[in-house]
Homo-oligomer: A and B are copies of this chain.
Amino acid sequence: MQLVKIYECLCDLTRLRLLNVLAQGPLCVCHFQEILRAPQVKISKHLAYLRARGLVVYERSGNWMVYDLPPKPTRDLRANLACLQDCARENPVFQRDLARLIKLAPKFADSSPCGCHSAGVAHSK
């Protein structure tokens, strides 16, 4: 059942943080590293996990892999991502990630050939 797959993705804190940050717009692996302050392997593996279950999509841009939420999520996924964001709003861990994203956004914008967030942050979906 697809719903169970979604919850399997959501039952790890790192993945929750990835998804929460992604809700603000596409991002590449090295930026995730800075925002979550987590090693590359960890980020990359969790993204692979999410990818395999259809919770994220990605696109190569030179050396960079730019990840994003799926353009046409299922009803269940949409509902659960909305619920996650709702819960995350009150939670210090997620707040801190978003704060870092905002602080780093300008830096990302001009240092990143990958183009993620080059148009500025917070184009909420």
Contact = CB atoms under 8 A, between A and B. Distances in A.
Interface of A: 1, 3-4, 7-8, 10-13, 16, 75-76, 79-80, 82-83, 86-88, 90-91, 93
B3 A91 contact: yes
A3 B75 contact: no
Nearest to A82: B83
B3 A87 contact: yes
Contact of A11 (B11, B76, B83): B11
Contacts of A3: 16, 87-88, 91
Nearest to A11: B7
6 contacts: A1-B13, A3-B87, A4-B11, A7-B10, A11-B11, A79-B83
A8 to B, nearest CB: 4
Given A3-B16, A4-B16, 20 more contacts: A1-B13, A1-B93, A3-B87, A3-B88, A3-B91, A4-B13, A7-B7, A7-B10, A7-B11, A7-B16, A8-B11, A10-B10, A10-B11, A11-B11, A75-B87, A76-B87, A79-B86, A79-B87, A80-B83, A82-B83
